């Protein structure tokens, strides 16, 4: 069964550094999402992406964040200058139009 994959599984970085989280969505899916879960808190929506552009973003998704689909398979989330409060589990998801979203295993980001 096709799955969403994410790399790396864990990332430790220093405050102020840039990080890129990578996702490979399911191949025939057209909608891509990033969510995050800060330890002990809800899973929160960050951004959705369709047809090579952002379709919706939350207030969390400020200028420090960007997303890109650099090729036909990868979907990336970049955090330009990480802050301590960016420490979280970041989940990528993909879906076919308005169908179920399928989630990847997540990347645990720790900002020191």
Backbone angles phi, psi at 86, to 5 degrees: -80, -5
> Which CB sits closer to another protein, 19 or 90?
90
Binding window for another protein (CB under 8 A); candidates: 11-19, 54-62, 66-74, 78-86: 54-62
Shortest Cβ 9–another protein spacing (Å): 10
| Distance separating alpha carbons of residues 2 and 7, to the nearest angstrom | 16
End-to-end CA, the chain: 37
> Which CB sits closer to another protein, 33 or 75?
33
| Distance separating alpha carbons of residues 8 and 92, to the nearest angstrom | 12
| Distance separating alpha carbons of residues 111 and 15, to the nearest angstrom | 6
> Which CB sits closer to another protein, 15 or 38?
38
| Cα radius of gyration (the chain) | 13
Work out which of 11, 22, 45, 69 binds another protein, going by CB under 8 A: 45
> Which CB sits closer to another protein, 33 or 111?
33
Q: Does 95 bind another protein (CB under 8 A)?
A: yes
At 86 the three-state DSSP class reads helix
Residues that bind another protein (CB under 8 A): 4, 31, 33, 35, 41-45, 48, 55-56, 58, 91, 95, 97-106
């Amino acid at each position: 069964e096709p799955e969403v994959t994410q790399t790396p599984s864990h990332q430790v970085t220093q405050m102020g550094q840039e990080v890129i989280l990578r996702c490979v969505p399911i191949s025939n899916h057209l909608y891509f999402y990033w969510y995050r879960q800060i330890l002990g808190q809800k899973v929160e929506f960050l951004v959705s992406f369709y047809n090579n552009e952002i379709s919706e973003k939350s207030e969390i998704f400020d200028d420090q964040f960007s997303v890109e689909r650099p090729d036909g398979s990868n979907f990336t989330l970049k955090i330009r200058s990480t802050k301590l409060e960016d420490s979280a589990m970041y989940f990528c998801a993909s879906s076919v139009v308005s169908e179920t979203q399928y989630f990847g295993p997540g990347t645990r980001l720790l900002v020191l």
